[in-house]
Amino acid sequence: MGQEHEFDIVIAGGGMVGTSLARLLADIGTGSRPCRIALLDRVAFEPDKTLFHVQPERYDPRVSALTQASKALFSELKVWRYIVDMRQCPYGEMHVWDAEGTGSIQFRAHEVHQPDLGSIVENSVISSALHQGLNEQSNLTYFAPFNLTSVKRDESGTLLIGSEDGSAVRAKLLVAADGANSRIRQLAGFATREWDYGHDAIVTTVQTEKPHRATAWQRFIHTGPLAFLPLAGDKEQRHCSIVWSVVTSEAKRLMGLSGAQFNDALTSAFESKLGTVRCSDKRFRVSLRQRHATEYISDGIVLIGDAAHTMHPLAGQGVNLGFQDVIALSEELYAGLNA
C-alpha cells in the first residue's frame, strides 16, 4: 500500500467544474482552520500545452457560452480577470431561425438592460484561469496524474479513494466531478436514466467572409441545429466556433468531406448569413447522449457537473448547470459548517 493523505474534502475531476469547486471551497473553513481540500486529476494540467492557442487565429475547438451567472461566479473566484487578460468574446445579440418556415427570434442585451448576454470562452482559457487561481491556495493539494481505481469506506465512515499506483486519499466527503463517464458514479452504484439522441455534434473553428458582429447565431435544420458562436482575438471579427448537430449518418458523411466541400456545405446550411465560410480547422465528432443520475447524493459522495447530468448542446447550458452545482453545493457546505 502506498502513502495515504487525509483531507476534509476530496474532489475527483480536474475539469472546469471540479476546479471551480476546489477554488470556491478553499475559502470555506471548518472551526478555526480552512478546509483541507484535495483535487484529483487523471491527467496532469500542462499550462504550456493549454495556452499555446492564445494567439491570433489559433483557437481551442471546445468553447463554452458562459451565462451572466457563470461570469459572476468567476468574478467571485477572482479568476475572471485572467480570462479577460487571455481571450473572451462577450456577445450582445442572439439570432435564431427555422429552416423549415419563417419563424425567427432575436435576443438583445440592451433590451434586458445588460451589457451582454454572456461570453464565448475557449475551455482551455477557462481551465488556465482556474488553475492560476488554484495556485494561490495553500490549503489545496493537487494530485495528478491520479488514476482512480477504488472507493471504499472504513468503520468510521471515512472514504478511502485509491489510485492504481497504490497511493490513496481519505476524506469524509467525496465530490465526483469526473465527467459524463464518471468512474466514481459507477463504483458507488449510482443509477442513471439515459439514452442516445441519435445525433452527433461536429465542432470546429471557421473563418467567415463577413464579421460576426459579436452575435451568436443558431439555425434549426431538419437534420439538427447549427450554431455559429463568435470568437475574440480577431479585430475583423471573422472567426466563429461552430457546433453542428446532425443525425449520426449525416455526421459521418460530413466528416468525410474535403475541407472545401465541408466549407461549402456549411455555407449552404447557414444560408450564407456570414457570407462564405472561407476556411475551417480540424473537425471533431462527438456522440450525443442524455444521461441523468437518479440521485446526486449517497453516503458522503456527491455528483456534480456531467457526472450528474449531460444533455444536448442545443441550449449551451451543460457547463453552466455544472457551475450552478458548484454554487449550490458550496452554499450547503458553508451553511452546514457554520450552523
pLDDT digits (tens, 9 = 90+) for 204-240: 999 999 999 999 999 999 989 999 999 998 889 999 9
Question: Using CA atoms, how far apart are residues 149 and 126, in angstroms rounded to an integer?
Answer: 28
* Cα torsion 122, 128, 133, 137: sign: positive
CATH number at residue 177: 3.50.50.60
pLDDT of 52 reads: 45
pLDDT of 55 reads: 63
Q: What is the arrangement of strands in the sheet containing 173-176, beginning at the earlier edge strand?
A: 140-143, 37-40, 9-12, 173-176, 301-303, 297-298
Q: Which domain holds residue 130?
A: 4-337
pTM: 0.93
CA distances from 260 to 35, 170, 186, 253, 268 (A): 54, 54, 43, 14, 12
**Residues with Cβ within 8 Å of residue 178, at least 6 apart in sequence:** 12, 13, 18, 42, 148, 184, 185, 307
Please state the domain count of the chain.
1
**How many other CB atoms sit within 10 Å of the CB of residue 223?**
17
- The phi-psi region of residue 198 (left if phi > 0; otherwise alpha if psi is between -120 and 50; otherwise beta) is left
pLDDT of 252 reads: 98
Q: What percent of the chain has pLDDT over 70?
A: 94
Q: Is the pLDDT of residue 51 over 70?
A: no
